[in-house]
Structure 1
């Protein structure tokens, strides 16, 4: 299967915040922050930081972590979620497709991969910090002076 940018779904910051603050009633999810040197100044609580250039190499590690913790939703974002976030999500979708097409892949892994939802955070961390930067229940390491 060939994936295009139109195959990507987006999640609103408010929905992600609700998932983070209501862990017991939310779907199992993993936030992957693909910002590079602009990772400084704060990040979404509990995110996995993988610079965008490393996503292809790290896809196996993301999937392994998801499988180990029964996480079925992965949300990518960068600063604005206009370039690196969507591009990284596309790389990951293509990786998942390779797993599904691999005749030697473990059937349990294939079944798991088939359930994974891939999304991009609408507005990226710029929007997130505008809304929730000072909220320590959902944001870590926030440095307001860097965002003014």
Structure 2
């Protein structure tokens, strides 16, 4: 039985994540990409419309079963991996948990060196504050979010 559960997954606030992203951008630049030590994984499915966090990787939750081993390999050197979906209540935390379990299966105790977190409130909360901030959000469509999620 695993000691990792959805309720034990740490979260990162939108403010903490935006601060990390902005602090990594070069001074005066309008382009923001995640620093090399962080990866942002967006697991929204058909609701991946209306924008996304700049530099995030979109892997629909429907593809996770076969993409998790690939993720474990490609994200090996990252210090922090952030998962999110629309609300980060189900798909995001579930994806983070599956990722962690696979990482532990492959890496054993070495898996504990990588921090895996869930974006609190998901993209819905993110876009409320940072949707129109082009340094942080790409392809934002305000009308998609006008009436809430």
Which is richer in helix? Answer: 1
Cα distance in structure 2, aligned partners of 1:87 and 1:136:
29
User: Residue in 2 aligned with 1:81?
Assistant: 88
Cα distance in structure 2, aligned partners of 1:37 and 1:6:
26
CA contact (8 A) 2:13 2:119 kept: yes
Question: What stretches of structure 2 of length at least 5 have no aligned partner?
Answer: 26-34
Question: What stretches of structure 1 of length at least 5 have no aligned partner?
Answer: 102-109
* Aligned with 1:52 (options 61, 86, 90): 61
CA contact (8 A) 1:9 1:119 kept: yes
Alignment map for 1:6-45 (pairs within 5 Å): 6-23=7-24, 28-45=37-54
CA contact (8 A) 1:76 1:121 kept: yes
CA contact (8 A) 2:72 2:99 kept: no
Cα distance in structure 2, aligned partners of 1:142 and 1:6:
30
Q: Secondary structure at the match of 2:113?
A: coil
Cα distance in structure 1, aligned partners of 2:61 and 2:144:
21
Deviation at 1:65, TM superposition (A): 2.2
Cα distance in structure 1, aligned partners of 2:66 and 2:82:
18
Deviation at 1:7, TM superposition (A): 2.3
Q: TM-score, normalised by structure 1?
A: 0.85
Cα distance in structure 1, aligned partners of 2:37 and 2:57:
14
Q: Does 1:98 align with 2:105?
A: yes
Deviation at 1:27, TM superposition (A): 7.5
Q: TM-score, normalised by structure 2?
A: 0.84
Deviation at 1:28, TM superposition (A): 1.3
Aligned length: 137
